C-alpha cells in the first residue's frame, strides 16, 4: 500500500493526546520503600492502628517475596528490572484536603479533568454518572455524594472510607485479594494511597453509574490505588474506571488492587477503559500496568461481570477474575486488549467454580499491530463440589501486519464430571482483500481498519455502558492509527 505511506506516517506521529502534565505543587514522601515509608504514608492519611498493622504485615511479606524470588516470572512479557527504591510512593497535590466543596479544589486540577473530558463542576456533570477523581496518590473529588447517600449508597475515596466506615473496611479488606496473594498485590497492600470505596446496601439498585477517573501526573512515582466494592443482598451497581497519564520517557509502575464482593442475589458490573500512556513507537516510556482484580460471588445467585478495554500501558499484566462461591452464581469476563508499536499485554481471567450450578462466560478479543505482543492467559477451574458448573470461552485474536504476535494459554482444570465446558478460539489477520473491499466502497484505509476492528470487538463493546462504548470505539481508532503499512 505504497500510496498510503505518507498519511500513515503522519498519523503514526500523532501524539498521545492525554500526555500533558499539570503544573501543581506536590507533597511527596522521599523515594524508596521501607517501614518508615509505610508509616509515613499511614500517618499522612491519619489512619487507625489496624490499617498500619495490615500495611506493615504486607510490607514484611513483600520483602520476603522480593528476597526469595522477586516478581512473578511466568508471564509472556519482558522488561528491565524495576528498582523499587527508586520510586516515590506517595505524591499528592498540595492543597487543603477537605473535599466538601469543589471551591476548595485547586483550579489547576479542575482544568486537568476538563481537559480529559471529565467535568467535576456541578452544572456540567454527566447525567447519570457519579465520578471519583483520583490524581496521583489521592482522590481529589467525588461527585453526587449526597444524592447517593440518600439511598444509603456509600461512594467515596478509600481514605475517607477508612475514616468514616472503618468497620466495613476492616470486614472486607483483603478478603478477596489477601496481602499474600502475589508480589504486586503485597506491594500494593503495603503502600496503597487511595482509590475508591463503594458499599451498596441491601435491596438498593444504585441509580447512577459510579465512575473513578485515575490520573497519574507526577514523575517517577508509582500509583498504587485500591478499590473495594461491596454489593449487599439483592443490590446492583455498575462501576466504571478510566485511566490516563502524561508522556514521560521513564517507565512508571501502576500496581493496583480491586476487590469486589457480591452477596446473595447481588450484581456488580465493573467496566474499565484503560488508556495509560503506552510509550512511544520505539517502546520508550509508558506505564507498567501490573494489576490484581478479583471478585467474589459470595452469595447465592450473585453475579460479577468484568468488561475491559485495554488500549494503553507499555505492559499490561492483569487477570480480572471471579470466585464463584455461592450456588448459581455467575461470572463474566469480556475483554478487548490492543497492543500496537512495542506494547505487551498478558491478560485474561480466572473463573473458579466452587458452588453448585455456577456459570461463567469468557469472551476475549486480542488485537496485535505494529510490534505488539498480545497474550491471553486464562484458567477455568471446576472444583469438586461444583456440580452442574458450566463455562463458555471464546478467545479470538486479530493480527494487523506481520511483525506482531498473538499467544493464548487457556488452562482448564475440571474436578467434577458433571461440568460442561465449551471453548472456541480463532486467529485471523486483516487481509488486503478485506481492506480493498472496504476502500472500494469509499472508506479510507484507516477507517477500513477501524471498522474491521470494531466489528471484531462488537461482542465486548455491547457489554459496556453506552457512553463508554462510544469512547472505547474512538479510542481503538486512535490507538490503531499508523498500524496499516
Partner 1 sequence: MSLLKVKDLHAAVDGHEILKGVDLTINTGEVHSIMGPNGSGKSTLAQVLARRETYTVTRGEILFNGKDLLKLKPEEAACEGIFLAFQYPVEIPGIGNAYFLRSAMNAMRKYRGEDELDAMDFLPLFRERVKLLEMDDALMSRSVNEGFSGGEKKRNEILQMAMLEPKLAILDETDSGLDIDALKVVASGVNAMRGPERSMLVVTHYQRLLDYIVPDFVHVLIDGRIVRTGGPELALELEEKGYGSTETETRQALPV
CB of 337 to partner 1, least distance (A): 17
Interface stretch with partner 1, choices 188-196, 334-342, 369-377, 446-454 (CB under 8 A)? 446-454
Q: Is 416 exposed, middle or buried (0-12, 13-18, 19+ CB in 10 A)?
A: middle
Residue of 167, 282, 402, 432 that binds partner 1 (CB under 8 A) = 432
Give the span between the Cα atoms of 294 and 310, in whole angstroms: 17
Residue of 100, 107, 127, 442 that binds partner 1 (CB under 8 A) = 442
Dig out the grid coordinates for 255 from the structure: 500496581
- Among residues 388, 412, 387, 407, the alpha carbon closest in space to that of 397 is found at 407
**Interface characters, 326-345, with partner 1 (x: CB under 8 A):** --------------------
Interface stretch with partner 1, choices 151-159, 329-337, 344-352, 440-448 (CB under 8 A)? 440-448
Residue of 439, 473, 478, 485 that binds partner 1 (CB under 8 A) = 439
CB of 398 to partner 1, least distance (A): 10
Q: Which is nearer to partner 1, 241 or 446 (CB)?
A: 446
CB of 438 to partner 1, least distance (A): 7
CB of 36 to partner 1, least distance (A): 54
Q: Does 63 bind partner 1 (CB under 8 A)?
A: no
Q: Which is nearer to partner 1, 268 or 398 (CB)?
A: 398
Kind and range of the H or E element at 161? helix 158-164
Size of the site for partner 1 (CB under 8 A): 27
Dig out the grid coordinates for 113 from the structure: 479533568
Q: Does 394 bind partner 1 (CB under 8 A)?
A: no
Q: Does 438 bind partner 1 (CB under 8 A)?
A: yes
Q: Does 454 bind partner 1 (CB under 8 A)?
A: yes
Give the span between the Cα atoms of 290 and 411, in whole angstroms: 21
Residue of 13, 385, 422, 436 that binds partner 1 (CB under 8 A) = 436
Q: Does 6 bind partner 1 (CB under 8 A)?
A: no
Give the span between the Cα atoms of 311 and 365, in whole angstroms: 12
Q: Which is nearer to partner 1, 49 or 432 (CB)?
A: 432
CB of 484 to partner 1, least distance (A): 12
Give Cα 15 distance to the centre of its chain. 23
Give the span between the Cα atoms of 62 and 184, in whole angstroms: 8
Asked if 216 and 246 count as a contact pair (C-beta separation under 8 A), the reply is: yes
> Pseudo-torsion of CA 401, 424, 308, 90, nearest 10°?
-80
Q: Does 9 bind partner 1 (CB under 8 A)?
A: no
Q: Does 163 bind partner 1 (CB under 8 A)?
A: no
> 204: Cβ–Cβ under 8 A, 6 or more apart, which residues?
151, 152, 153, 232, 235, 236
Dig out the grid coordinates for 311 from the structure: 488500549
How many Cα atoms are found within 13 Å in the side-chain-facing hemisphere of 173? 26
Q: Does 449 bind partner 1 (CB under 8 A)?
A: no
Residue of 17, 147, 415, 458 that binds partner 1 (CB under 8 A) = 458
CB of 28 to partner 1, least distance (A): 46
Residue of 292, 456, 475, 480 that binds partner 1 (CB under 8 A) = 456
Residue of 434, 467, 473, 478 that binds partner 1 (CB under 8 A) = 434
- Among residues 439, 440, 320, 458, the alpha carbon closest in space to that of 398 is found at 458
CB of 448 to partner 1, least distance (A): 8
Residue 360's beta-bridge partner residues? Answer: 331, 391
Q: Does 451 bind partner 1 (CB under 8 A)?
A: yes
Q: Does 429 bind partner 1 (CB under 8 A)?
A: no
CB of 449 to partner 1, least distance (A): 12
According to DSSP, residue 223 is labeled: B
Cα angle value 403/404/407 (rounded, 5°)? 140
How many Cα atoms are found within 13 Å in the side-chain-facing hemisphere of 294? 20
CB of 450 to partner 1, least distance (A): 10
Tell me the three state secondary structure of residue 419.
Answer: coil
- Residue 404: other Cβ atoms inside 10 A: 23
Q: Which is nearer to partner 1, 4 or 95 (CB)?
A: 4
Q: Which is nearer to partner 1, 98 or 440 (CB)?
A: 440
Kind and range of the H or E element at 112? helix 107-115
Tell me which residues touch partner 1 (CB under 8 A): 1-4, 431-434, 436-445, 447, 451-452, 454-459
Amino acid at each position: 500500500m505504497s500510496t498510503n505511506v505518507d498519511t500513515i506516517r503522519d498519523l503514526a506521529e500523532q501524539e498521545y493526546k492525554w500526555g500533558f502534565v499539570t503544573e501543581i505543587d506536590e507533597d511527596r514522601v522521599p523515594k524508596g520503600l521501607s517501614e518508615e515509608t509505610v508509616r509515613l504514608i499511614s500517618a499522612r492519611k491519619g489512619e487507625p492502628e489496624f490499617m498500619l498493622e495490615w500495611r506493615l504485615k504486607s510490607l514484611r511479606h513483600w520483602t520476603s517475596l522480593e528476597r526469595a524470588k522477586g516478581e512473578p516470572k511466568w508471564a509472556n512479557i519482558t522488561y528491565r528490572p524495576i528498582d523499587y527504591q527508586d520510586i516515590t510512593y506517595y505524591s499528592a497535590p498540595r492543597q487543603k484536603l477537605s473535599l466538601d466543596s469543589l471551591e476548595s479544589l485547586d483550579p489547576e486540577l479542575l482544568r486537568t479533568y476538563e481537559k480529559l473530558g471529565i467535568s467535576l463542576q456541578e452544572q456540567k456533570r454527566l447525567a447519570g454518572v457519579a465520578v471519583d477523581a483520583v490524581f496521583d496518590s489521592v482522590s481529589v473529588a467525588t461527585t453526587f455524594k449526597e444524592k447517593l447517600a440518600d439511598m444509603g449508597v456509600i461512594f467515596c475515596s478509600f481514605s475517607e472510607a477508612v475514616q468514616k466506615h472503618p468497620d466495613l473496611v476492616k470486614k472486607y479488606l483483603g478478603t478477596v485479594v489477601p496481602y499474600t496473594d502475589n508480589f504486586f498485590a503485597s506491594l500494593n497492600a503495603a503502600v496503597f494511597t487511595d482509590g475508591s470505596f463503594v458499599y451498596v446496601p441491601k435491596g438498593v439498585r444504585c441509580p447512577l453509574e459510579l465512575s473513578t477517573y485515575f490520573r497519574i501526573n507526577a514523575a517517577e512515582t508509582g500509583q498504587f490505588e485500591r478499590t473495594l466494592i461491596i454489593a449487599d443482598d439483592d443490590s446492583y451497581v455498575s462501576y466504571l474506571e478510566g485511566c490516563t497519564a502524561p508522556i514521560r520517557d521513564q517507565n512508571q509502575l501502576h500496581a493496583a488492587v480491586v476487590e469486589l464482593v457480591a452477596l446473595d442475589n447481588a450484581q456488580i458490573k465493573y467496566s474499565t477503559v484503560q488508556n495509560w500512556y503506552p510509550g512511544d513507537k520505539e517502546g520508550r516510556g509508558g506505564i507498567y500496568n501490573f494489576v490484581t482484580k478479583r471478585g467474589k460471588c459470595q452469595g447465592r445467585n450473585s453475579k460479577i461481570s468484568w468488561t475491559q478495554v485495554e488500549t494503553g500501558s507499555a505492559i499490561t499484566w492483569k487477570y480480572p477474575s471471579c470466585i464463584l462461591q455461592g450456588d448459581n452464581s455467575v461470572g463474566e469476563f469480556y475483554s478487548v486488549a490492543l497492543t500496537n508499536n512495542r506494547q505487551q499485554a498478558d491478560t485474561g481471567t480466572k473463573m473458579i467454580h466452587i458452588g453448585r450450578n455456577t456459570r461463567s462466560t469468557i469472551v476475549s478479543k486480542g488485537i496485535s499491530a505494529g510490534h505488539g505482543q498480545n497474550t491471553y492467559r486464562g484458567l477455568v477451574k471446576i472444583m469438586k463440589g461444583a456440580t452442574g458448573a458450566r463455562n463458555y470461552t471464546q478467545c479470538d485474536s486479530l493480527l494487523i501486519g506481520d511483525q506482531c504476535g498473538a499467544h493464548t494459554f487457556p488452562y482448564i482444570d475440571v474436578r467434577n464430571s458433571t461440568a460442561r465446558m465449551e471453548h472456541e478460539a480463532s486467529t485471523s489477520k486483516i487481509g488486503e482483500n478485506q481492506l480493498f473491499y472496504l476502500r472500494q466502497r469509499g472508506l479510507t484505509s484507516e477507517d477500513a481498519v477501524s471498522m474491521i476492528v470494531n466489528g471484531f470487538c462488537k461482542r465486548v463493546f455491547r457489554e459496556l455502558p453506552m457512553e463508554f462504548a462510544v469512547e472505547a470505539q474512538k479510542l481503538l481508532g486512535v490507538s490503531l492509527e499508523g498500524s496499516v503499512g
